[in-house]
Structure 1
Amino acid sequence: MLYFRGCVVREKLPQIEMATCMVLKKAGIDYDIVDGEECCGSFLLRTGFTDDALQVMHKTSQNLKDETILVSCAGCYNTLKNDYKKYLGVELDVIHTSQLFSNLIKQGIIKPKKLPVNVCYHDPCHLGRHCGEYQSPREVLASVANLVPMENEKENSHCCGAGGGVKSAYPELASEIALKRVDDALQAGAELLVTCCPFCVLNLESEKLKVIDLTEFFCLCNSVESLENNISKEDILKKSPNTQKKI
């Protein structure tokens, strides 16, 4: 298995990589990190630079053939799984971390420890709307927390506001959309907002509600010490306004 981290994880959220590797180690899975990893081409493709994207995609595909590729980024998952086939005719064996974790739970390889916290799940557009994967992340979250539904989710989920280059070109608009999504989670009673896309994590970050990647949360709930600043389960709960109201 090859772990393809993606640009956002490599450059801005290395704690997701740490958490992913620790879960893989705990599960006894042999893996390698892609040597000399470059961009999957998603951002170039979504922002209209198709020729540049195809060059990047062709180069990246040479390092990924004949391997099972694990990704923790929804954008990378959609691009590697669907766009490489569409534009290059290259079919890759790609699995998202949420799918892997769900399988590990079902097989009894990892036995989750449930945390008494209300969690909402934000569906990343790339994973849900474009790939139809709504169930695996929810199966994982339901095994480690109290999963509460939001008004708009699954097929009707709203974007975090960052996709398609909006965060780069229209940062204020991206922030406005993100705040509405956070408010949706708060209204549902969430103490945490969890998602499967590092780009969504960055855009949804808010003082109102703690936002965390599924891999990090799963790692913490299974007592795997890791993560930036030695964050603990208690730290997560303390950062949530809804939790503070209960104390």
Structure 2
Amino acid sequence: MNKPIIYFRGCTAREKETGIQESTEKLLKLAGVDYKILEDEACCGSVLLRTGFLRQAHEQIEKNSEAFKGKTVLTSCAGCYKTLKQDYDDVDVIHISQLLNSLIEQNRLNFTKNNLNVTYHDSCHLARHMEVFDEPREVIEAVANLVEMENIRDNSLCCGAGGGVKSAYPEIAEEMAKARIEQAKDTNCKTLVTACPFCKLNLENPDLEVLDLCEFLVKYGDMDG
């Protein structure tokens, strides 16, 4: 990438799941990726768009677009990735799973694979909407053995958090999460990985370790630089 990189953390990683930001920055620095974070980073507008606050969403989009001019925007959040890719004009955006896969292929990140079995949850925004299926799986398989759940890729079950469901209908979101957690437990894996902060937040439970992709790499990847 020839353009300067902005690491756009997104609301969930910035405010609630701060371990995602910490792990992402650790990996970026290890790989020698030059990046900046916006001091006044604000919401991408995804939740506003999905819940009908269109005027406020477009005001936010206009403000962000000015800050993104001439930059490559790296996102932790699948929802941010979809929004920047589909609802903004002329924004060069890449999801962290795509960048990590590229850095591994370039030998800028090197891991020693272990015998850990993990399963992976495809988020709606990243998989079904944007068809990013392979990159997160290849990243996982650089470190561990991937054991697939029953519903995967574009047939994955929604975690229940997106589209304002968790805020408006928390009981429905909880039931949807339970169904997906049961599928994860059926793999006999103890670790569930996802590449979406929203999904991580809603899928957390006492029976499984639920990690963002970057958190997973930092915790289980034997990083030799």
TM-score range, shorter chain: over 0.9
**Alpha-carbon distance, 1:96 to partner:** 0.7
Structure 1 counterpart of 2:22, which letter? M
Identity among equivalent positions (%) equals 53
User: C-alpha distance in 2, partners of 1:50/1:131?
Assistant: 22
Is 1:158 the counterpart of 2:162? The answer is no
User: C-alpha distance in 2, partners of 1:82/1:153?
Assistant: 23
**Alpha-carbon distance, 1:34 to partner:** 1.7
User: C-alpha distance in 2, partners of 1:15/1:175?
Assistant: 23
Unmatched tracts of structure 2, length 5 or more = none
TM-score, normalised to structure 1's length?
A: 0.86
SS in 2 for 1:57: helix
Unmatched tracts of structure 1, length 5 or more = 85-89, 225-247
Q: What is aligned with 2:215?
A: 216
Q: What is aligned with 2:82?
A: 78
User: C-alpha distance in 2, partners of 1:5/1:203?
Assistant: 18
User: C-alpha distance in 1, partners of 2:137/2:122?
Assistant: 10
Structure 1 counterpart of 2:173, which letter? A
SS in 2 for 1:120: strand
Per-residue Cα deviation, 1:90-110 (whole angstroms, up to 9, x for no partner): 111111110011001111111
Cα RMSD, aligned residues only: 1.1
Per-residue Cα deviation, 1:32-88 (whole angstroms, up to 9, x for no partner): 11231010000000111111111111111111111011111000000011111xxxx
Q: What is aligned with 1:117?
A: 116
SS in 1 for 2:159: coil
Per-residue Cα deviation, 1:5-48 (whole angstroms, up to 9, x for no partner): 00011110111111111101100111111231010000000111
Per-residue Cα deviation, 1:194-217 (whole angstroms, up to 9, x for no partner): 001101001001112111100111
Q: What is aligned with 1:15?
A: 19
User: C-alpha distance in 2, partners of 1:94/1:6?
Assistant: 13
Is 1:39 the counterpart of 2:43? The answer is yes
Q: What is aligned with 1:128?
A: 127
User: C-alpha distance in 2, partners of 1:222/1:145?
Assistant: 8
Count matched residues. 219
Asked if the contact 1:117–1:191 (Cα under 8 Å) also holds between the matched residues in 2, the reply is: no
Q: What is aligned with 1:240?
A: none
SS in 2 for 1:127: helix
User: C-alpha distance in 2, partners of 1:92/1:8?
Assistant: 21
TM-score, normalised to structure 2's length?
A: 0.94
